[in-house]
Chain A
Amino acid sequence: MSSLSAPAAATTPVVLPVSKAVLWLVGTALIALAVYYFIGVDQGAYSVFGKDMHIHEFVHDSRHFLGFPCH
């Protein structure tokens, strides 16, 4: 019950000023999305390295298992 009736001091009043943190937040999100793209999508529906299939074949099993459509 302690977590439900927590006093106000235990909550999260910290609000990041998004204007200041925006570079780090957006940059991190973009890099993370690029990783997501290369694990899940590249050399399948789209391909940034032409007909090469190395990434696709290497992460093949995880691509299937993480739910992405694969070849």
Chain B
Amino acid sequence: MEKKLILRGVIAGAVAGLLAFVFARIFAEPQIASAINYESGRDAAQETLDKAAGLTPQAAGPDIFSRTIQANVGIGVGMVFFGIAMGALFAVAYAVCLGRVGNLRARNLALVVALGGFLGIYFVPFVKYPANPPSIGHPETIKDRGNLYLAMVVCSVVFLVAATWLGKRLQPRFGNWNATLLAGAGYIIAIGIVMALLPALGELSANVQEFGHHATETPLPLTNPKGAIVYPGFPADVLFSFRFYSVATQVLLWATLGLVFGPMAERLLSPAKQASADPAPVQPEPVGAA
């Protein structure tokens, strides 16, 4: 049974990843292109400033893959494999939850697990450390940013599992509705404390040293030694659109995962009932109904 569930999870994940890729290719790539154009323009402006100050500009590294490859093939491979990986994790979580988290139909359980994956793996970490387009993020802080992001992912997933367990424990005493609300409140409080304790990216020591105190690493306007702005800060609309589409892609991915996996799991878990229920309607027509 677990092998069949995992296979279905991988299939649903591949479908979800493919859809996410098509969506990303249409909506994300223009934003990524704008961000890269901004970065190129800023680098050129910075180079002019450096030359005026008598500094020799450092040569940029060679591009391993062209933008065409990255924007058409690379993103596709990345999204599809991410979908497959999430589909496999989804199936594992589903198999463990099956029959252990209350009175849910196979299909409905799939949607609940998908919602958990969306929240735990992506959205709750996003609330603290949102997705950033190219040109946002200082290379020297990548290690800290990577660790902080993964810490958020681990905390949100572990707390979500704990909240599910807590809800089950509270259910006999408080009933389904209240136990779910209590467990949800516990999750929000616990993850809220973690979010309050983890530092903002702009407050990392390397950033404070170089740029002063800021909330994020989003590039501010570039100024010359006299303080005049020679290049604008990162365009706010590009940043918003990029993040909005990033969230939309994940909603699409997890929704597809749940909606494709659910019916397959239902058929797998109750094949006999489905076969007998389909030809004959369960409720007979009342006699004399016109």
Task: Check A48 for interface membership: any CB of B closer than 8 A.
Answer: no
Q: State how many angstroms separate the Cβ of A34 from the closest Cβ of chain B.
A: 8
29 A–B contacts from the bound complex (CB under 8 Å): A6-B105, A9-B273, A13-B99, A14-B269, A21-B95, A25-B2, A28-B6, A28-B92, A32-B89, A33-B89, A36-B89, A45-B142, A57-B65, A57-B74, A58-B65, A60-B65, A60-B70, A60-B74, A61-B70, A62-B24, A62-B82, A64-B132, A64-B133, A66-B131, A67-B126, A67-B250, A68-B149, A69-B146, A69-B148
Whether the pair A61, B74 counts as a contact (CB closer than 8 A) is yes
Question: Is there an interface contact between B70 and A58, defined as CB atoms closer than 8 Å?
Answer: yes
Interchain CA distance A45-B84 in the complex, whole Å? 23
Assess whether A65 is in contact with B24, with CB atoms less than 8 Å apart. yes
CB distance from A1 to the nearest CB of B (A): 13
Q: How far is A10 from B103 in the complex, measured between Cα atoms in Å? A: 9
Q: Please measure, in the bound complex, the distance between the C-alpha atom of A46 and the C-alpha atom of B146, giving whole angstroms.
A: 8
Q: Is the CB of A12 within 8 A of B137?
A: no
The answer on a CB contact under 8 Å between A62 and B74 is yes
Top 7 nearest A-B pairs by Cβ distance?
A: A45-B146, A62-B78, A59-B78, A69-B145, A15-B99, A35-B85, A67-B131
Give chain A's interface residues, CB within 8 Å of chain B: 3, 6, 8-16, 18, 21, 24-25, 28-29, 31-33, 35-36, 39-41, 44-46, 53-54, 57-71
Interchain Cβ contacts within 8 Å, total number: 178
A50 CB to closest chain B CB, in angstroms?
15
For A56, the closest partner residue in chain B by CB is: B64
Chain A residue contacts of B150, Cβ below 8 A = 41, 45
Given A12-B98, A45-B146, 4 more A-B residue pairs with CB atoms under 8 Å apart are A61-B70, A62-B74, A66-B79, A70-B142
Task: State how many angstroms separate the Cβ of B141 from the closest Cβ of chain A.
Answer: 9
Contact of A16 among B2, B105, B148 (CB under 8 A): B2
A69 in complex: contacting residue of B99, B109, B137, CB < 8 Å: B137
